[in-house]
Homo-oligomer: A and B are copies of this chain.
């Protein structure tokens, strides 16, 4: 972790968090910043729940690559993981997704109201 750039804010005192930590928000956007992951999200939500293989068949990416993308989505908290036998079930965490959307809305609002 770079842990330097924005720490100015903290170091400069004052502003403890200022609403939602931009670091955390950025992390979630980061998970959404790849077309494959967006498509995977759509696919997951359409099928309600998928195993890795299913996704692999859908997009022609190597299984390892898909697994990686799924991992990133899970780590970002956007997708929930559940081990089911030898399969792995992945499902969109709609609440979390809505939350990200809310964060963005908040940012947009802060940009407009702060005008």
Q: Give residues in A with beta carbon < 8 Å to B.
A: 5-6, 8-9, 18, 22-23, 25-27, 29-30, 32-39, 41-42, 44-46, 48, 58-61, 92, 94, 97-98, 100-101, 104-105, 107-108, 110-112, 114-115
* CB-CB under 8 A for A104 and B107, given A26-B38, A32-B26: no
Q: Chain B residues with Cβ under 8 A from A42's Cβ?
A: 18, 22, 107, 110-111, 114
This protein's copies in its complex: 2
Is B112 a contact partner of A60 (Cβ separation < 8 A)? no
Add 4 more A-B contacts to A25-B38, A42-B107 (CB < 8 A): A18-B42, A23-B35, A45-B115, A104-B104
CA distance A8 to B97 in the complex (A): 25
Is A59 a contact partner of B5 (Cβ separation < 8 A)? yes
State how many angstroms separate the Cβ of A20 from the closest Cβ of chain B.
10
Is B59 a contact partner of A107 (Cβ separation < 8 A)? no
Is A29 a contact partner of B26 (Cβ separation < 8 A)? no
